Chain A
Amino acid sequence: MATELRTTGWDFVTTKVDKRAIQRQNPDDPREHLRELEARGEVKIIPITEENQPIEVETLLGRTKLIPTTKLWHHKSCGQCGNIPGYPTSIIWLMNRLGLEYLDETHQTSCTAWNYHGSGTSNLVALASVAVRNWHRAYETGYFPLIHCGTSFGNYKEIRNLLVEHKELRDEVRRIMAKVGRELVIPQEIVHYSEWLHVLRKRVAALKVYDASQVVTTVHPACHVWKMIPDDVIYDREIYGGERPAPTTAILLELGAKVRDYSTWYDCCGFGFRHILTEREFSRSFSLERKIKVMVEEAQSDVAITQDTGCTTTLDKNQWIGKAHGYHYDLPVMADVQFAALLAGADPYKVVQLQWHTAGWENLLDKIGIDWRASKKRYEAYLEELKNGAVPEQLYLAPND
């Protein structure tokens, strides 16, 4: 076959038949289309302003992303608040230490995406309406939404893109928002807390009061954070040579901990959305075989560091049952923000709330030099005080909502 014909034929196949050509050009930047939609009056953008003191970072395709650092609206995670309460309290504690402004209130629902991925009992319009309702609530308060949960982050990136792409979806969501007295608004950027922690890592590390240089960490990156809409994820040439997402790993390095690689870094945790409830043998087997075992045996990890809700739960809760098959692992599991708060001197019980975690974390704290026994005594005494009617301590004075 003549070279010319071969080239022409290949061009035809790649452009017309198997659509391989889509790989040759970067996907459109939805944020550009968003600005066009706003200019046409179709949507309102929740802007990142000077008040948010944003920091610019680079994402996968070399685009820039603005990460607001203050005046933030906490878009809480149901799995974190319900099951890993030290996750949000560590975020709030660090924000207090850094003197940042935020709003934590009751006018938020979950994104409902866990249920959707697990059960299918919702639909695109409902997911988009829930997202826009939460966004609009943040918008009317003047605070910028900071999303705590990885699945909410992934879902909201996807919903943002679909709203930008499909007029029919915008029209339908706008109709529903009118029924609840709200408007179609879309944030300028969809921002995960791990990105906020990433851009503030030097300031957070400056708070450090404990030495973590002897601590070997292994990172579990959350699938819905970096595999869903991957072009909207922060990459840094200094971290993994720019070949893997930078958040979480970068803060650990900044805190002075060792970050050790392991061969199943790319694997999911085994959460599975429905599996963690209804196919638990899968979640148990996968998290043990493909993550915990490898983190311990390959990397001799002291602690698994996460950046999402379901991952923290799955990796933490599924270790004990491994004894039934001769797995005697007891690897502490906690989020990056909990680890950072611990090193900055947060109380392991009252603030970081490690008592809700299942895998043993006491040896890790001994290694760092944190006196968890004294913390436990203070906590137990505090529980007694509360039983006797004491007013609960607050990290934050809630608005009158």
Chain B
Amino acid sequence: MSQDLGDVHLRLDPDDVGIQDADSLLKAIRTDVRYHEAVHGCLNCGVCSGSCPSHRFFDYSPRVVVQTVLSGDAEAVKDMMDEYIWACAQCYTCAMRCPLQNSPGGLVMIMREVAVWRGMEAVHRLLKPYGRVLLKVLSLGNQLTPDMIQPDFFPDWGPKIPWSSTDLAIKRKAIPVYTLQVTTSAWRVSPETSYELYTIYEETGVFKLIEQIDPNLYEVVADMVEEVRDTVDSAQ
């Protein structure tokens, strides 16, 4: 269920995946409860872009993002959501420097969320390499785990990476903190904790969203969720 509060919303409805007309997308951005904290106006001064790391290496400017959203040109905003905004590094340097205390990075985050929760086509391509992180964060609540650091995935990290993935279980045991002596999660996460996290994901529409935008991933996650829930329920 969408958290529609009239003028603003707290979150989008996963049942709205597929609603992608430009006006609807712009409205979803502007009615996010955080929108008026992210955008106060814009002098077009470009201070944000002048210090933006992504501006140095991509065709990307936070100034242009803010100006385009403020212009009300819904088609241009939609076009931006396809790829442009995904160059943002989310460092919030722009937010710290803006003379009007805008947060272009915060606005980009709202736009990304709308793009994903409406299932825009580009999102499937953009999220594909993110599958391993999503699997971990959905099933465990951990985002990065020791067994994810593999030389075939990080060949550019150099010749020491194979060491990190060899005899991993023993090397993790050699870390003198009990909670860290695991390989498939960053620390031991109790099943009861995962159980509570699943309730949060259900109540906030996250599981339903994943089911809509990546059914294969959802199937794997759903199996893991069921297993953890069975473990906890049977223990109780």
Report B99-145 residues with CB < 8 Å from chain A CB.
99-101, 109, 112-113, 115-117, 123, 126-127, 129-130, 133-134, 137, 140-145
Q: Which of B3, B58, B160 contacts A172 (CB 8 A)?
A: B3
Which of A30-38, A120-128, A250-258 sits within the interface? A120-128
In the complex, which residues of chain B have a beta carbon less than 8 angstroms from the beta carbon of A88? 177, 180
Q: Which of B10, B154, B156, B186 contacts A168 (CB 8 A)?
A: B10
B119: min CB distance to chain A, Å: 11
Q: Which residue of B lies closest to A278 (CB)?
A: B129
Given A81-B186, A89-B175, A176-B204, A270–B53 Cβ distance below 8 Å? yes
In the complex, which residues of chain A have a beta carbon less than 8 angstroms from the beta carbon of B204? 122-123, 125-126, 129, 176
In the complex, which residues of chain B have a beta carbon less than 8 angstroms from the beta carbon of A387? 167, 170
Q: In the bound complex, what is the Cα–Cα distance between A284 and B158 (angstroms)? A: 12
Q: In the bound complex, what is the Cα–Cα distance between A108 and B123 (angstroms)? A: 30
> At the interface, yes or no: A286 with Cβ under 8 Å from chain B?
yes
> At the interface, yes or no: B27 with Cβ under 8 Å from chain A?
no
A181: min CB distance to chain B, Å: 8
Q: In the bound complex, what is the Cα–Cα distance between A280 and B130 (angstroms)? A: 13
Give chain B's interface residue range (CB within 8 Å of chain A).
Answer: 35 or more
> At the interface, yes or no: B206 with Cβ under 8 Å from chain A?
yes
Q: Which residue of A lies closest to B146 (CB)?
A: A82
Q: Which residue of A lies closest to B159 (CB)?
A: A320
Q: In the bound complex, what is the Cα–Cα distance between A109 and B129 (angstroms)? A: 23
Q: Are B199 and A180 in contact (CB under 8 A)?
A: yes
> At the interface, yes or no: A285 with Cβ under 8 Å from chain B?
yes
Q: Which of B89, B176, B205 contacts A395 (CB 8 A)?
A: B176
Q: Are A386 and B170 in contact (CB under 8 A)?
A: yes
> At the interface, yes or no: A6 with Cβ under 8 Å from chain B?
no
Q: Are B199 and A271 in contact (CB under 8 A)?
A: no
Given A78-B144, A107-B193, A110-B186, A121–B109 Cβ distance below 8 Å? no
Q: In the bound complex, what is the Cα–Cα distance between A83 and B210 (angstroms)? A: 27
Q: Are B179 and A78 in contact (CB under 8 A)?
A: no
Q: In the bound complex, what is the Cα–Cα distance between A224 and B173 (angstroms)? A: 31
Q: Are A130 and B197 in contact (CB under 8 A)?
A: yes
Q: Are B190 and A107 in contact (CB under 8 A)?
A: yes
Q: Are A106 and B177 in contact (CB under 8 A)?
A: no
Report B10-61 residues with CB < 8 Å from chain A CB.
10-12, 33-34, 40-41, 43, 51, 53-54, 56-58
Q: Which of B3, B99, B161 contacts A358 (CB 8 A)?
A: B161
Q: In the bound complex, what is the Cα–Cα distance between A231 and B41 (angstroms)? A: 21
Q: Are B209 and A129 in contact (CB under 8 A)?
A: no
> At the interface, yes or no: B200 with Cβ under 8 Å from chain A?
yes
Which of B72-80, B90-98, B223-231 sits within the interface? B90-98
Q: Are B109 and A115 in contact (CB under 8 A)?
A: no
In the complex, which residues of chain A have a beta carbon less than 8 angstroms from the beta carbon of B203? 125, 129, 175-176, 179
In the complex, which residues of chain A have a beta carbon less than 8 angstroms from the beta carbon of B53? 267-268, 270, 272, 286, 290
Report A77-113 residues with CB < 8 Å from chain B CB.
77-83, 85, 88-89, 92, 104-110, 112
In the complex, which residues of chain B have a beta carbon less than 8 angstroms from the beta carbon of A175? 203
Q: Mark A212-256, 1 if CB is under 8 A from B, else 0.
A: 000000000001101110100000000000000000000000000
Q: In the bound complex, what is the Cα–Cα distance between A318 and B161 (angstroms)? A: 12
> At the interface, yes or no: A282 with Cβ under 8 Å from chain B?
yes
Q: Are B133 and A277 in contact (CB under 8 A)?
A: yes
In the complex, which residues of chain A have a beta carbon less than 8 angstroms from the beta carbon of B172? 85
> At the interface, yes or no: A376 with Cβ under 8 Å from chain B?
no
Which of A19-27, A46-54, A64-72, A198-206 sits within the interface? A19-27
In the complex, which residues of chain A have a beta carbon less than 8 angstroms from the beta carbon of B117? 120, 123
Q: Are B142 and A278 in contact (CB under 8 A)?
A: no
A/B interface sample: 5 pairs, CB < 8 A: A122-B113, A126-B201, A129-B200, A168-B33, A282-B89
The interface of chain A, by Cβ under 8 A from chain B, is: 17-20, 22-23, 76-83, 85, 88-89, 92, 104-110, 112, 114-126, 129-130, 133, 137, 154, 162, 166, 168-169, 172, 175-176, 179-180, 182, 223-224, 226-228, 230, 266-268, 270-275, 277-280, 282, 284-286, 290, 317-321, 350-351, 353, 355-356, 358, 379, 382-383, 386-387, 392-398, 401
Known: A277-B133, A387-B167. 13 other contacts (CB 8 A): A76-B186, A78-B143, A82-B145, A106-B187, A108-B189, A110-B137, A271-B89, A272-B54, A275-B89, A286-B57, A318-B157, A379-B174, A383-B170
